[in-house]
């Protein structure tokens, strides 16, 4: 009888031990996963560079990246009305627009591509963007730039001083939202240091790309 009780306790001990050491296994069942059918916004494609726009315009292929609604064609009189030139606007004449001028009497030879405005999204393949500070332009140029005084036809034009941007066929025009002193009015060139001392906070307000370098801008 005593032996039977011993065997019973051993059996219960083994059974209890196995139960406490046993790992619980859960067999995965089929789960219904709810999923939102809303599509996340796709990232907007970056605007083409001004160099790319000039290339497509010369080939007559602007429609390959712009819709007809985004393209406005017109003619403009130049040389005191003696000649006319084709002009194409992309995205209109507003702050997001780009103007393409063709050489006189030609609809295929691009004279220049121009973008204006601090918030204009177009840019050069060199990295120069509208709204960029003069310090940032210095970094791209790999040396300090100078600039012409304001209130004349080429006011604020940058001088690259044989830097990286000097032979890239681009023209950069600076602007300031500050009041400009008399020393910065007119066609005299000024150094980056002068602008810094005067706290002009110059930024790129106009960017021109010229496929074949041309001084008559």
Q: Is 193 inside a domain boundary?
A: yes
Q: Is 101 inside a domain boundary?
A: yes
Residue 120 in contact with residue 53, Cβ under 8 Å? no
213 confidence band (pLDDT: 50, 70, 90): low
Cα dist. 149→71, 153, 179 in Å? 34, 10, 13
Q: Which of the listed residues 122, 145, 167 is the one where a domain comes to its end? A: 122
| Choice between 171 and 93, residue whose per-residue pLDDT is larger | 171
What does pLDDT average to over the chain?
82
- Lowest mean pLDDT across 4-8, 82-86, 191-195, 210-214: 4-8
Q: Are residues 134 and 204 in the same domain?
A: yes
Q: What is the mean pLDDT of residues 78-85?
A: 79
Q: Based on the structure, what is the number of domains in the chain?
A: 2
Q: Is 35 inside a domain boundary?
A: no
pLDDT at 214: 53
Q: Which of the listed residues 80, 97, 122 is the one where a domain comes to its end? A: 122
Confidence check: pLDDT of 91 > 80: yes
- Lowest mean pLDDT across 93-102, 122-131, 193-202: 93-102
Q: Is 38 inside a domain boundary?
A: no
Q: Are residues 178 and 207 in the same domain?
A: yes
Taking the C-alpha atoms of residue 61 and residue 45, their distance in angstroms, rounded to an integer, is: 18
Q: Are residues 129 and 116 in the same domain?
A: no
Q: Are residues 207 and 142 in the same domain?
A: yes
Confidence check: pLDDT of 112 > 70: yes
Q: What is the mean pLDDT of residues 146-164?
A: 96
Confidence check: pLDDT of 22 > 50: no
- Cβ neighbours of residue 116 under 8 Å, at least 6 residues apart? 95, 130, 205, 206, 207
Give the model confidence (pLDDT) of 47-78 as tens digits. Answer: 899 999 999 999 999 999 999 999 999 988 87
Q: Are residues 101 and 135 in the same domain?
A: no
Q: Which of the listed residues 75, 99, 122 is the one where a domain comes to its end? A: 122
Q: What is the mean pLDDT of residues 137-166?
A: 96
Give the model confidence (pLDDT) of 187-202 as tens digits. Answer: 999 999 999 999 999 9
Q: Is 6 inside a domain boundary?
A: no
Q: Are residues 141 and 95 in the same domain?
A: no
Q: Are residues 130 and 202 in the same domain?
A: yes
Taking the C-alpha atoms of residue 102 and residue 95, their distance in angstroms, rounded to an integer, is: 21
- Cβ neighbours of residue 112 under 8 Å, at least 6 residues apart? 100, 101, 208, 209, 210, 211, 214, 217
Q: Is 9 inside a domain boundary?
A: no
| Domain enclosing residue 95, as ranges | 47-122
Q: What is the mean pLDDT of residues 28-56?
A: 64
- Which residue is it, tokens 């690259």? 160
Q: Is 169 inside a domain boundary?
A: yes
- Cβ neighbours of residue 40 under 8 Å, at least 6 residues apart? none
| Choice between 127 and 25, residue whose per-residue pLDDT is larger | 127
Q: Are residues 69 and 85 in the same domain?
A: yes
Taking the C-alpha atoms of residue 180 and residue 198, their distance in angstroms, rounded to an integer, is: 9
Q: Are residues 147 and 79 in the same domain?
A: no
Q: Are residues 135 and 118 in the same domain?
A: no
Q: Are residues 204 and 142 in the same domain?
A: yes
Q: Are residues 81 and 138 in the same domain?
A: no
45 confidence band (pLDDT: 50, 70, 90): low
Q: Is 217 inside a domain boundary?
A: no
Confidence check: pLDDT of 41 > 60: no
């Amino acid at each position: 009888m005593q032996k039977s009780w011993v065997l019973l306790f051993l059996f219960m001990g083994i059974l209890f031990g196995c139960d406490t050491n046993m790992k619980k296994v859960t067999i995965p069942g089929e789960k219904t996963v709810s999923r939102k059918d809303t599509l996340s916004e796709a990232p907007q494609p970056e605007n083409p560079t001004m160099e790319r726009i000039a290339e497509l315009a010369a080939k007559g292929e602007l429609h390959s990246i712009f819709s007809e609604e985004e393209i406005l064609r017109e003619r403009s009189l130049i040389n005191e009305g003696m000649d006319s030139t084709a002009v194409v606007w992309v995205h209109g004449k507003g702050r997001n627009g780009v103007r393409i001028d063709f050489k006189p009497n030609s609809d295929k030879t691009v004279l220049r591509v121009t973008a204006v405005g601090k918030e204009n999204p177009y840019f050069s393949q060199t990295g120069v963007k509208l709204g960029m500070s003069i310090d940032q332009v210095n970094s791209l140029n790999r040396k300090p730039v100078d600039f012409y005084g304001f209130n004349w036809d080429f006011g604020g034009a940058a001088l690259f001083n044989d830097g990286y941007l000097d032979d890239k066929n681009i023209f950069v025009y600076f602007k300031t939202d500050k009041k400009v002193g008399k020393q910065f009015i007119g066609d005299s060139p000024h150094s980056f240091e002068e602008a810094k001392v005067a706290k002009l906070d110059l930024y790129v307000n106009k960017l021109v790309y010229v496929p074949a370098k041309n001084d008559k801008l």
